[in-house]
Amino acid sequence: MLLPLLPVLIIVAIILRFTGERHVFYVQPRRGKGGKMFGLIKFATMVADSENIGTKDITVKNDPRVLPFGRILRKTKINELTQILNVLKGDMSIVGWRPLLEAGLNLYPEEIRQELFKIRPGLTGIGSIVFRDEERILHLTEKDNRDCYRDDIMPYKGELETWYARSQSIWLDIKLIFATAIAVLLPSSDFYIKIFPDLPRLPESSEIARIRKLQPSNSTT
């Protein structure tokens, strides 16, 4: 994967070096297999010290901390490609549960954290696919962003990630890689329901379900 992507990564690195705050990479501490800490490598898409500004560890739609070129990288998910280096180091797999900042990880109950720590986190996974519209949800929620993240997003995301941990197989990983490509091309589609019919169901009473019933045009308001 790294070899054919290398020209893209080099071009992005050059653009970042000469735009924004001139930072190319951003390394965040995350927990992986066995709860071991590692440095998650990402392209720099936000202003420096962003984790201590505004909504801190939560990113919302049109977040003012995101740099102009960073918006393109985040929308296309190119900013995540540097994590192939984490895969080569053995910190991550191509498919797995998405590693979170400590504050987000601690919102999972202890039993879920221990279930996830049995396997490596991944570049992509079911949580990333189902919650590719997470920023939109936080933008449109009638709740406080942090309350919505804690009470609605994280409980369901925890169910999804443990579903993967308990169902893990090579065939499932292949389907998730395919589903990731569709999610990038068709971000508003709910195609994953057909591909993964045994996924944990989202409660109809959830704030997430309410927002997803809104017309797409409302997402820009």
For 175-199, what is each residue's pLDDT tens digit? Answer: 999 999 898 888 778 889 999 999 9
Note down the domain range covering 12: 2-220
Beta strands in the chain (DSSP E): 25-31, 37-43, 93-95, 122-124
For 1-10, what is each residue's pLDDT tens digit? Answer: 788 889 999 9
Label residue 215 by pLDDT band (50, 70, 90).
Answer: low
Q: Which two tokens stand for residue 106?
A: 């601690």
pLDDT of residue 219: 39
For 73-125, what is each residue's pLDDT tens digit? Answer: 988 888 889 999 999 999 999 999 999 988 889 999 999 999 999 999 999 99
Higher pLDDT: 59 or 192? It is 192
Domain tally for the chain? 1
| Separation CA 86–CA 41 (nearest Å) | 7
221 exposure class (CB count in 10 Å sphere: 0-12, 13-18, 19+): exposed
**Residue 58 above 90 pLDDT?**
no
Label residue 217 by pLDDT band (50, 70, 90).
Answer: very low
Please state the φ and ψ torsions of residue 26, each to the nearest 5 degrees: -135, 125
Kindly report the pTM of this predicted structure. Answer: 0.83
Residues 6+ apart with CB under 8 A from 165: 97, 115, 116, 118, 119
Q: What is the DSSP letter of 116?
A: H
**Residue 136 above 60 pLDDT?**
yes
**Residue 29 above 90 pLDDT?**
yes
pLDDT of residue 221: 35
**Residue 50 above 80 pLDDT?**
no
Question: Half-sphere exposure of residue 152, counting CA atoms within 13 Å on the CB side?
Answer: 23
pLDDT of residue 124: 94
| Separation CA 113–CA 109 (nearest Å) | 6
| Separation CA 24–CA 60 (nearest Å) | 22
